[in-house]
Amino acid sequence: MKKIVEITHMSKRFGSTVALDDVDLEAYEGEIRGLIGENGSGKSTVTSIYAGMQKADAGTMLFEGKEWHPSSMNDALKKGVGMIVQENGTVPGISVAENIYLGEIDSYKKGPFVDLGRLNRDAQKALDDIGAGHINAAQITGMLDFQDRKLIEIAKVMVNDPKVLVVDETTTALSQKGREIIYSIMNKMRDDGKTVIFISHDLDEIMSVCDRLTVLRDGKIIRTFDKEEFEENAIKTSMIGRELQGNYYRDDYEEPAEKETVLKAEHLNLGNQLVDFSFELKKGEILGVGGLSHCGMHTLGKVLFGAMMPQSGTFTVHGKPVTSIHDAMKKQIGYVAKDRDTESLSLDASIKDNIAIAGLDKFSIKNFLILPSKENAYVKKQADALSIKCAGINQYVSALSGGNKQKVAFGKWLGRESEILILDCPTRGVDIGVKQAMYQLMYKMRNEGKSILLISEEMAELIGMSDRILIMKDGELKKELVRSRDLSEADVIQYMI
């Protein structure tokens, strides 16, 4: 096979943090090459350098045997290397069509005016070609949910017909339909003799999709597995340098001891996202909420945190209504959003600022005076408890890996000692080690009497962690399932579709 991607002796540092340490990597035509490793292992760094997002400190790169020096992601895309990034890569205030052809608008101009008709037609065809024809190319991008914005990014890359496609944790943002779209694109590229580099934390997914798999740990290549060598425990051990200790999901099946209702929703209605929706969350319970991407479950999380108000219906905490985000926080509710980088965190602020902002009333004196020593101690306690991998609490969140960003989002609410946590896709984009730590933390909180609403698109997560599961479809509650050893993914999915 012809070698398409070749990286030799690549190194990269961010301050005192070594992101890549003398990395050699290659990928061949007609291959889907998987990259896997813990958060911060260097997967996104090495591929983002190759795709023109940033520069290496040392090393050489070749593309189809020739020196490769892209000046930007757009330059790399025009020359044959496209990357779909892990987090949001669209501009919210412009149309879908403008996002797809960002940087090429001049080619659609007639004199001083843009030919919007032709622009929208071409963009709609690009969406149709990848199987995302349900998205209107003329619509403003910011009106769409996270999944559809991700599909726009895929269309933007694919309309350029790249020879190399880098897919960085994209599938974690997609429903099953969205995943089938990206799998179809990847398989077609391989069949056409092109190259895909696929980054994922989902071992089942990556073992199913990839032809070969390269493991990174602490900025170094640890091992490459050929397809016939794929074995789950061997890959996990290579990733973390040890065997996982303790349970992954829960292994208990007794009913929660507490029966007290802490949060109650009655007849909530909000467009087609919530339709006469009622439920109760008990003290010391993990209540799962699942469904297909547009079923309304993500809207439910925002409503219960006071970020959106229902058109009708009520929801109360200990019998008292929630009227706003501020009121929800006073009632000890915390919320970790699915779209972490725009709704849960301020990327251009420090770890300290992100964690401290939610706990000012916890460490300030008379809700007025903030002593730096008290603030630092408050934040450092959460950073240490969650083992956030960082250069210090003053490091910007934007420089952290996905898993460590998620730990910061958790830290905001753990510091407040929130009694009710609404967690929307809390393990999206994090590695198996961090996932296990989060699951163990959730179980510990449950056993301490805290209540968790776990909104998730992962069937195994819902089944493995929930005491009860509420299945939503078209904004309605379709089925309630109780924790059981015999509960299977097929049992859950049949009520979603």
Tell me what the pLDDT averaged over the chain comes to. Answer: 89
* Dist CA 385 CA 387 (whole Å): 6
At residue 59, the pLDDT reads 95
At residue 401, the pLDDT reads 80
At residue 257, the pLDDT reads 63
Q: Do the Cβ atoms of 477 and 471 come closer than 8 Å?
A: yes
Q: Rounded to the nearest 10 degrees, how much is the dihedral formed by the CA atoms of 192, 193, 199, 203?
A: 80
At residue 179, the pLDDT reads 84
Q: Which residue has the tokens 């898993």?
A: 403
Write out pLDDT tens, residues 212-227: 999 998 889 999 999 9
At residue 173, the pLDDT reads 64
Beta bridge partners of 454: 288, 423
Better-predicted residue by pLDDT, 206 or 453? 453
Write out pLDDT tens, residues 440-490: 999 999 999 999 999 998 888 999 999 999 999 999 999 999 999 999 888
pLDDT at residue 386 tops 70:
yes
At residue 203, the pLDDT reads 83
pLDDT at residue 243 tops 70:
no
Better-predicted residue by pLDDT, 235 or 276? 276
Beta bridge partners of 317: 263, 320
Beta bridge partners of 277: 268
Q: Mark out the alpha helices in 51-114 (DSSP H runs).
A: 73-79, 96-100
pTM for this predicted structure: 0.66
- What interhelical angle do 432-447 and 232-240 show, nearest 10? 90
Structure tokens at 237: 């051990």
Write out pLDDT tens, residues 336-365: 998 888 888 999 999 999 999 988 888 888
pLDDT at residue 268 tops 70:
yes
- Asked whether the domain spanning 261-493 has the same topology as the one spanning 3-240, the reply is yes
Write out pLDDT tens, residues 76-135: 999 999 999 877 778 889 999 999 998 888 888 888 888 899 999 999 999 999 999 999
pLDDT at residue 141 tops 90:
yes
At residue 245, the pLDDT reads 58
Write out the E strands in 37-189: 58-63, 66-67, 81-84, 109-110, 113-114, 164-168
* Dist CA 412 CA 336 (whole Å): 9
3-240 topology per CATH: Rossmann fold (3.40.50)
At residue 246, the pLDDT reads 61
At residue 180, the pLDDT reads 86
Confidence of residue 427 (pLDDT cuts 50, 70, 90): confident
- Is 261-493 a CATH 3.40.50.300 domain? yes
Could you give the count of Cα atoms lying within 13 Å of 87 in the half-sphere of its Cβ?
Answer: 19
Write out pLDDT tens, residues 299-308: 999 999 999 9
* Dist CA 483 CA 463 (whole Å): 7
At residue 409, the pLDDT reads 92
- State the average pLDDT over residues 381-405: 88
Q: Which residue has the tokens 């990327």?
A: 347
At residue 242, the pLDDT reads 57
Q: Which helix (H) or strand (E) holds 434?
A: helix 432-447
Break the chain into its structural domains and give their ranges: 3-240, 261-493
Confidence of residue 162 (pLDDT cuts 50, 70, 90): very high
At a CB cut-off of 8 Å and minimum separation 6, what does 111 contact? none
pLDDT at residue 244 tops 60:
no
